[in-house]
């Protein structure tokens, strides 16, 4: 059902509907859940996403290990060249959700908890300066779900299988397609946004310090959101990526399958294996163990 994004785009264009609407119709036809159930689920997801952004922005949370927290709050007072734009809103919201996640708060895995900040970051960050009705946001979540389902089918959504390209990378692709449709772009443009975004996250490793979903995960959700914004902006400007989106997704899967196990969530390589990464992990894990005693 969700096997080829290329075919789904063709079908949506032929029927004159968005990818999100197509996803809702296909799922209702499939019979696992009614349309009403899915829409209610997505509406709840939107509410939880909003709640997580709000919970994370004040900056009073610390992660279980104490390694992360309070950085989303810094971006509520941005001073760089992009202050006051959608860009900093997206970064702040993505950080906020991911800081809540690291503190064992309630979030929506979209598609995973490790990449949970990207989609709400992009959609709610854009909506903050360009408000849209909730119904449009719910439909955009359906778009993101459809894209993620194709990625799950063709590649993977697990950092342990495919590295961070399968988590924040997939989330960025989903957010880019959803963002385009939320802003009124066609399914074809949405698919190019997915391809333009995911080409930029290919090969991204999963290298969390101490195996905890904290560093670099929190920051990688923000940069994932930034790459999704780049994909959205390019696709809406009419840029077309030459490699079809399904082949980009397949490439992500292929890279993931051949990626060394050190870069797949095992904390054996990448930033986790740096001298400072090892030192911080050791200190924090010792503290965690003491706490548990």
Residue from the set 59, 70, 78, 105 that interacts with another protein by CB under 8 A:
105
Which window, 5-13, 39-47, 84-92, 187-195, contacts another protein (CB under 8 A)? 39-47
| CA 173 distance to own-chain centroid | 7
Q: What's the CA gap between 161 and 124, in Å, rounded?
A: 29
Q: With CB under 8 A as the contact rule, which of the stretches 124-132, 144-152, 196-204, 242-250 interacts with another protein?
A: 144-152
Kindly tell me which residue out of 8, 71, 90, 101 binds another protein, with binding defined by CB under 8 A.
101
Give Cα separations from 256 to 167, 211, 231 (angstroms): 11, 18, 22
Residue 7 and residue 21 in contact, taking contact as beta carbons nearer than 8 Å:
no
Binding to another protein by residue 135, rule CB under 8 A?
no
The closest alpha carbon to 269, from 118, 191, 120, 159, belongs to 159
User: If binding is defined by CB under 8 A, does position 273 make contact with another protein?
Assistant: no
239 binds another protein (CB under 8 A): no
Out of 38, 53, 196, 215, the only residue in the binding site for another protein (CB under 8 A) is 38
**How far is CA 180 from each of CA 146, 232, 282, rounded to the nearest angstrom?**
14, 6, 43
Q: How far is the CB of 111 from another protein (least distance, A)?
A: 4
Q: Does 148 bind another protein (CB under 8 A)?
A: yes
Using rule CB under 8 A, residue 142 touches another protein: yes
Structure tokens at 285: 């894990």
For 105, the token pair is 């708060």
Based on CB atoms, which residue is closest to another protein, 160 or 271? Answer: 160
Q: For the chain, how long is the longest CA-to-CA vector?
A: 61
Per rule CB under 8 A, is residue 17 in the interface with another protein? Answer: no
- Backbone CA torsion sign across 190, 192, 198, 200: negative
Q: Is residue 100 within 8 Å of 52, Cβ to Cβ?
A: yes
Number of residues lying near another protein (CB under 8 A): 63
Residues in touch with another protein (CB under 8 A):
1-2, 23-24, 27, 30, 32-33, 38, 41-42, 44-45, 48, 63-65, 100-114, 116, 119, 141-142, 144-146, 148-149, 152-153, 156-161, 166, 174, 208, 210-214, 264-267, 285, 288
């Amino acid at each position: 059902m969700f096997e080829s994004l290329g075919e789904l785009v063709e079908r949506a264009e032929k029927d004159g509907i968005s990818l999100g609407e197509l996803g809702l119709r296909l799922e209702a036809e499939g019979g696992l859940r009614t349309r009403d159930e899915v829409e209610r689920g997505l509406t709840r997801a939107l509410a939880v996403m909003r709640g997580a952004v709000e919970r994370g922005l004040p900056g009073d949370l610390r992660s279980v290990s104490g390694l992360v927290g309070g950085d989303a709050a810094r971006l509520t007072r941005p001073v760089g060249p992009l202050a006051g734009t959608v860009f900093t809103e997206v970064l702040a919201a993505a950080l906020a959700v991911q800081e809540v996640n690291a503190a064992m708060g309630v979030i929506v895995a979209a598609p995973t908890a490790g990449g949970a900040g990207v989609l709400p970051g992009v959609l709610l960050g854009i909506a903050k300066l360009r408000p849209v009705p909730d119904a449009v946001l719910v439909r955009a979540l359906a778009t993101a779900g459809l894209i993620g389902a194709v990625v799950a089918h063709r590649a993977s959504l697990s950092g342990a299988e495919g590295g961070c390209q399968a988590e924040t990378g997939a989330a960025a692709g989903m957010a880019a397609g959803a963002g385009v449709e939320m802003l009124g772009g066609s399914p074809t443009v949405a698919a190019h946004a997915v391809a333009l975004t995911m080409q930029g996250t290919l090969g991204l490793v999963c290298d969390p310090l101490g195996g905890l979903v904290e560093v670099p995960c929190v920051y990688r959700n923000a940069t994932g959101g930034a790459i999704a914004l780049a994909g959205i902006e390019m696709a809406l400007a009419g840029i077309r990526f030459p490699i079809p989106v399904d082949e980009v997704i397949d490439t992500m899967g292929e890279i993931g399958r051949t990626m060394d196990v050190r870069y797949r969530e095992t904390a054996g390589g990448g930033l986790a294996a740096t001298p400072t990464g090892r030192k911080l992990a050791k200190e924090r894990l010792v503290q965690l163990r003491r706490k548990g005693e």
